[in-house]
Amino acid sequence: MGSMRRSSVRLLIGFLLIRLNWCSAVGDKGAEKVGVAFPVVVSTWPFREAVRAAWKVVSTGEGWGSAVDAVVAGCSACEDLRCDGTVGPGGSPDENGETTLDALVMNGVTSALLSRAAVQATMEIGAVAAMRYVKDGIKAAKLVMEHSEHTLLVGEKATAFAISMGLPGPTNLSSPESIEKWEKWKQNHCQPNFWKNVDPVGKCGPYHPINLASVEVEGSVKNEVVGSQGGLCQGYFESDNLLEPIKSNLKVVNRHNHDTISMAVIDKMGHIAVGTSTNGATFKIPGRVGDGPIPGSSSYGDDEVGACGATGDGDIMMRFLPCYQVVESMRQGMDPRDAATDAISRIARKYPDFIGAVFAVNKEGVHAGACHGWTFQYSVRNSSMQDVEVITVYP
């Protein structure tokens, strides 16, 4: 009799444990979705068609990979559309008149959120920088992530890799518009440009470094040359045996000459992916790589926390990894608005004249933006919306 009682007690305890575990699993899963309209797509700027392309994939896709597929589809659409002339081929010529591409894709899936049967994919990233002759930047970045152990490939070697993996090329990435823009720039003595503290041989270089302490202008020692943010003095030329400053137009960073599409996607399963694509700064020094392919700068995502996308003066912003900062601030408990504002303010304290912006979205799909030096817009679509909505953020 006692044995039967003990068996009954054990069966009852076992049943209760099974029920408790089942309820906990359902409760945890439900808690992740409370108030959330998954999937979610967020992108810098009013790139509505890019967001729609990503939405088409993520709203019908299945499995953890759909967030990555949606990011690639969205950024590819922007490359094909040549959004604002700053994404994809045909825009932003460098000093040689050539267009090159930077791109990044990141899978924010973390091992703790994967089932045992799933493929290990912990914070994987693929990126290309200064890539020539291949028009599909974001697809090349995805190939780096999926078919190599590397994170970033650059220049002609990135080109060779992309073509070997099946992307079309080589192809000329310039356009009649980009060549016309470059020719007008050359007629203006290659101003404005990104050089500083140099002595040009001729109106457009080549350039050689100068010793600022030894430069005399109008009988005084000039030891200050305004850099790319000021744009007043980019170099010097010979005149009456003295080195005189070349006057340049004030350098203006805006969405039409210094821009990026950065996109974040949260799929139906709550998995996060981010991506970036850009053709860089107009009239950049050949070989320049901005923040576009730099993880944590142009974009960053982690399933456990959320995601971020950035745009603006990449040469400044990449020194601060603003998107990594945003995600880590949200990890510590900040809401998206405070995290975005904090990341931008950290840069502004050091560079009061910088121009840039970020958006932040947490794992619940709550989003916000912050900017400095310009008015910023970002685009959003989730399952509670009928179409893409554009959010305006003021400095």
Phi and psi, residue 325, nearest 5°? -60, -45
Check: CB of residue 75 under 8 Å from CB of residue 136.
no
Question: What is the pLDDT of the chain when averaged over all its residues?
Answer: 82
Q: How many CA atoms lie within 13 A of 253 on its CB side?
A: 28
Check: CB of residue 105 under 8 Å from CB of residue 68.
yes
Check: CB of residue 283 under 8 Å from CB of residue 181.
no
Instruction: Residue 258: give the domain boundaries.
Output: 40-112+122-178+251-386
Residue 207 lies in a domain: no
pLDDT of residue 260: 86
Q: Of residues 245 and 294, which shows the higher confidence score?
A: 294
Residue 139 lies in a domain: yes
Residue 239 lies in a domain: no
The two tokens of residue 350 are: 């050091």
Residue 222 lies in a domain: no
- Check whether 31 has a pLDDT greater than 80: no
Which residues participate in the annotated binding site? 288-291, 311-314
**Distance (Å, rounded) from C-alpha 392 to C-alpha 375?**
7
The enclosing domain of 45 has a CATH number of 3.60.20.30
Residue 19 lies in a domain: no
Residue 292 lies in a domain: yes
The confidence band for 82, taking pLDDT boundaries of 50, 70 and 90, is very high
- Catalytic site positions: 260
Q: How many CA atoms lie within 13 A of 300 on its CB side?
A: 21
Q: Mean of the pLDDT values across residues 1-5?
A: 48
**Distance (Å, rounded) from C-alpha 109 to C-alpha 239?**
60
Q: Mean of the pLDDT values across residues 152-176?
A: 97
Which of helix, strand or coil describes residue 247? Answer: strand
Which residues participate in the annotated binding site for substrate? 288-291, 311-314
The confidence band for 213, taking pLDDT boundaries of 50, 70 and 90, is low
**Distance (Å, rounded) from C-alpha 303 to C-alpha 269?**
10
Segment 116-134, tens digit of pLDDT: 445 455 799 999 999 999 9
pTM of the model: 0.80
Q: Mean of the pLDDT values across residues 45-66?
A: 84
Could you give the number of structural domains in the chain?
Answer: 1
- Check whether 363 has a pLDDT greater than 50: yes
